[in-house]
Amino acid sequence: MKQLRNNVIRAGLGALYFSGAHHLLRPLLSGVGAIFMLHHVRPAREAAFQPNRHLEVTPEFLRATLCHLRSRDIDIVSMDELHERLVQGRFDRRFAAFTLDDGYRDNLDYALPVLREFDAPLAVYVASDFAEGTGRLWWAALEAVIAKTEQVDVRVGHSALRLDATTPAAKQATFDRLHDWLRALPGEHDLAREIEALCTTYDVDMEALCRSLCLSWAEVKSFAADPLVTIGAHSVSHCNLAKLAEDVAAQEIATSRARIEQALQRPVLHLAYPYGDREAAGMREFGLAATAGFKTAVTTRPGMLFADNAAHMTALPRVSLNGNYQDARILPVLTSGAATAMWNGFRRIAAA
């Protein structure tokens, strides 16, 4: 089903490009700017089974995106400047910001050198447990479990299942099924229990995986010393805030910020909601971020920026640079606003 959805999206992006419709729609839909969302930036991997491929782009595609923005005379700005332009209504030039979620080491190793070539600022949102080396990157752990076995035995509800993992296609189907099950569990403790059980059964060390992928506090501090870099908060444990009691969700946000501020000895003014979709960040979470005093908070809801977003600074949309669609031809479509407008049913603001 997810492969079908990817194929449909790819076909839609291609249709917008080859028809030239994005040129006609750009004046209506491109807004005043965009916030680009990334996770990993690293060289392409060869493995046939890569269920989290959508979370990574190559340095070459990032460079192509920056070249495209420069060719359209779009300013690349920090999140502080983006906030200022929205508040002040300074829209004489279009602008874009680059944001990277979770705090992966490849952001330092591969993304920063490319962004430096263009003197382009970036914001990196760090989940503090990841920097501690104790985080639960359950989607990466699930990939590691399925990659190393030919069948997965798991109890889902009252049913004991044996899922096929003999081929890349079977592994992908098993990943999709278990990923959706884990995300749908009622609480974060349920997710933790189930992924820890799978990791124990299939000998995957989740903390070692976290340490191998994520920046340590020393690396975050080194990263933050670069004048192009802003470090933002991304909760303590990368939890679904909407599933938590309000006081617990507020504590996740506050503690994450406090840990980062203690490590860096500077204020943390920007937040990214973990997962960031409608099931993980809504009006309550937007209010918590505003009450906590964040200048901006970003979602994963797709959308361009418009003047009206100035009234919703803790519910900002983003444009995903998705590893499944690394074709430079789609970049004019993304920056035209046509793709996100179609996804949103042509609503400019989706902050409810």
Burial class (CB in 10 A: 0-12, 13-18, 19+), 249: buried
Q: Token pair for residue 167?
A: 């081929």
The pLDDT score that the predictor gives to residue 293 is: 95
Q: Which residues are CB-contacts of 345 (< 8 A; sequence separation ≥ 6)?
A: none
Tokens 């042509």 locate to: 346
d(CA 89, CA 320): 24
Please tell me whether residues 177 and 291 are part of one structural domain. no
Please tell me whether residues 196 and 287 are part of one structural domain. no
Number of domains in the chain: 2
Segment-wise mean pLDDT, segments of 10 residues, the chain, 352 residues? 52 58 65 97 96 97 97 97 98 97 98 98 98 97 98 94 97 97 95 97 97 98 98 97 97 97 97 97 98 97 96 97 90 84 66 59
* SS3 label, residue 131: helix
Residue 98's domain spans which residues? 32-135+214-343
Q: Which residues are CB-contacts of 184 (< 8 A; sequence separation ≥ 6)?
A: none
CATH of the domain at 87: 3.20.20.370
Please tell me whether residues 200 and 287 are part of one structural domain. no
Q: Is 2 contained in some domain?
A: no
Helix axes 168-184, 2-19, angle to 10 degrees: 100
Q: Which residues are registered as beta bridge partners of 98?
A: 36
Q: Is 173 contained in some domain?
A: yes
Q: What is the pTM of this model?
A: 0.93
The pLDDT score that the predictor gives to residue 197 is: 96
The pLDDT score that the predictor gives to residue 4 is: 47
Please tell me whether residues 142 and 128 are part of one structural domain. no
Helix axes 138-147, 206-213, angle to 10 degrees: 110
Q: Is 60 contained in some domain?
A: yes
